[in-house]
Amino acid sequence: MVQPGERIPEVVVQQITPKGIEKTDTLSLFGTGRTVLFAVPGAFTPTCSERHLPGFVEHFDEFRRRGYDVACMAVNDPFVMQAWMTSSGVPDGMRMVADGNAELTRALGLDLDASAYGMGIRSKRFAMLIEDGVVSQLFVEAPGEFRVSTAEHMLQAVGG
């Protein structure tokens, strides 16, 4: 599992933008500046849709005021991520990242085998702070938990 002080692995992912779906790499997404990256096991799943993403949508402007970009990642195809973005009222500027083949998730060591639930390989629920391509803080949820990766917890982590 990636640790604070380590660089984000270089992987190609797909970012959903107002222009559509664009292939990009993690260096372009996270190589400069400060970003809160949070990951969910799946778009449109209960906790992810009812609590996790909405918290970051609600507090998006506060993260921006504190100098942080916000990115949401899931092991879903980009079309699902695009539909989730639209139906969830994601604000302009919040990055939606589709890691469809779990390449970034696996490279981070944060993959979860959800095959028993018919979901295949997914991402663990986590949030991290990335500064100029380096993980500065990492918060991984225990199975079934939703505490340390919330928007409110991450606002505390970034400080004022």
- What pLDDT score was predicted for residue 6? 98
- What is the mean pLDDT of the segment spanning 22-50? 95
Reply yes or no on whether 72 is catalytic: no
List phi, psi (to 5°) of 22: -130, 130
Q: Which string of DSSP letters, residue by residue, matches 81-121?
A: HHHHHHHHTPPTT-EEEE-TT-HHHHHHT-EEE-GGGT--E
Is 3 inside any structural domain?
no
Interatomic CA distance for residues 97 and 68, integer angstroms: 16
Is 42 inside any structural domain?
yes
Q: Across the chain, what does the average pLDDT equal?
A: 95
- What is the mean pLDDT of the segment spanning 132-153? 96
- What is the mean pLDDT of the segment spanning 125-138? 98
Q: Which of 39, 48, 108, 129 is catalytic?
A: 48
Q: How many CB atoms lie within 10 A of CB 3?
A: 8
Is 7 inside any structural domain?
no
- What pLDDT score was predicted for residue 78? 96
On the question of pLDDT at 160 being above 80, the answer is no
Is 99 inside any structural domain?
yes
**Domains identified in the chain, total number:** 1
Is 5 inside any structural domain?
no
Is 150 inside any structural domain?
yes
Is 6 inside any structural domain?
no
- What pLDDT score was predicted for residue 17? 87
Is 123 inside any structural domain?
yes
pTM of the model: 0.96
Q: Which CATH number does the domain housing residue 18 bear?
A: 3.40.30.10
For residue 148, the enclosing domain spans: 12-158
